[in-house]
Amino acid sequence: MTTVSDAATSASATASDGPEADSTERTLRHAKVRAAMAENGLDTVLAYGPGWRRENVRYFADARVTGSSSFVLFPASGEVAAFSTRRSDLPELRRRGWVDSADTLDVWDPAPLTDRLRDLRPRRIGIAHYELLPAMLANALRTALPGTEIVSATSLLDGVRMVKSDWELARMRRSAAVCAAGWDAFVDVLEPGLPEYRIVAEVEARIKELGAEDNFMLIASGKDEVRGMTAPTPRVLQAGDMVRTELTPQMDGYWLQICRSAVVGKPSEGQYRSFDLFNEAVEAGMAAVRPGVTAHDVAKAQNDVFRAHGYGEYCTSQYTRVRGHGHGLHLDETPIIEGNETVLPENAVFIIHPNTFTPLAGYHVLGDPVRVTASGCEVLISTERKLFHSEKGVSA
């Protein structure tokens, strides 16, 4: 019998891991970024990583960094340099070998970074996450480069990272196996009297056992009064509760999410009707996917199902934010929302989730991550899409 742990290991192994595969992937990334730089008239890109948005630094370095601020300096030609405020990040940056050098960064005196930039004499530099750059670092860069035009390169790198390579997809499939294991642990523990935080503890234990670096998880329990999800609380489960979650483990840097709801005991008619509505919306979103479709198109396909059944008002910002979002080195990339005309190319990865409140059963959570294929989409998780329920501890 193949276990989830075996599946996770197998998925990782199919990535052709090793120095040769890493070198090929690194070369591919450099070529993609330099092509985008040429198109945008940039001779240097500086990837900035604040503590909560390190995806661009990891894209260049393929190393987990933990400093409050980090950078990768990527010129149109020449050596790639990394910097972090945390000295303990340097051995990992050097061990991975994706950057040519790694040095500490002092935000009060970033001379190693600014001196390197000054030596390059860039005419036009793009900073990814320029919008998040602290004023003292922005001022230090402007002082060091008085004749250089500095612009944002956030959208440039967002676009480069959107199309996933086979190397990346192998890692995301490993995340998918861990999603499935996490959801199994979630359902297995459900019973009346259990506090929400115990559910999350069981999930965390399972996915960390399988190698998850991190996990973003929201949860909510209750009946049709539930309007959204939060971090786990001490609320105790009761028979008839629907328990909702977004479960998003990170493996090898890559995040993937599963959205499901489960009932403690036998589901009610309203909960079944709610599932049918949301499942129809998920399937409509998937049916809309093909290379060149926009985020708007996928969101509209889902929302049109709610409108057709008389629940269109619950697609508005009063009740919901998005109908899904991109996945990759950041857990919440391009939003799947009406009005977002971002094109979704082949090998883009995102989750389709029409999560929102309706009067049928309260807030409902359902969704699967997909890869855009040449002819439609590939669902990346194996977990069945159904209304799960647990009879454990529930009296007849």
For the chain, the structural domain boundaries read 41-152, 166-390
Which residues, at least 6 apart from 87, have a Cβ–Cβ distance to it below 8 Å? 104
Which residues, at least 6 apart from 237, have a Cβ–Cβ distance to it below 8 Å? 190, 191, 192, 193, 194, 195, 196, 221, 243, 264
Residue 16, pLDDT score: 55
CA 245, CA 9: separation in Å to the nearest integer? 25
Nearest Cα neighbor of 318 from 265, 356, 352 is 356
According to CATH, the superfamily of the domain at 166-390 is Creatinase/methionine aminopeptidase superfamily (3.90.230.10)
- Three-state secondary structure call for residue 324: strand
For residue 320, CA distances in Å to 117, 133, 312 come to 44, 30, 11
Q: Which residues of the chain have pLDDT under 70?
A: 1-16, 396
- Three-state secondary structure call for residue 253: coil
Q: Are strands 101-104 and 81-84 parallel, antiparallel or unpaired?
A: parallel
HEC string for 15-70: CCCCHHHHHHHHHHHHHHHHHHHHHCCCCEEEEEEECCCCHHHHHHHCCCCCCCEE
- Three-state secondary structure call for residue 187: helix
41: alpha, beta or left? (left if phi > 0; alpha if psi -120 to 50) = left
Residue 257, pLDDT score: 98
Architecture of the domain defined by 41-152:
3-Layer(aba) Sandwich (3.40)
CA 197, CA 207: separation in Å to the nearest integer? 15
CA 312, CA 323: separation in Å to the nearest integer? 13
Indicate the burial class of 197 (C-beta count within 10 angstroms; 0-12, 13-18, 19 or more).
Answer: middle
- Give the pTM: 0.92
CA 357, CA 29: separation in Å to the nearest integer? 41
| Cα angle value 289/296/161 (rounded, 5°) | 70
CA 98, CA 158: separation in Å to the nearest integer? 20
Which residues, at least 6 apart from 316, have a Cβ–Cβ distance to it below 8 Å? none
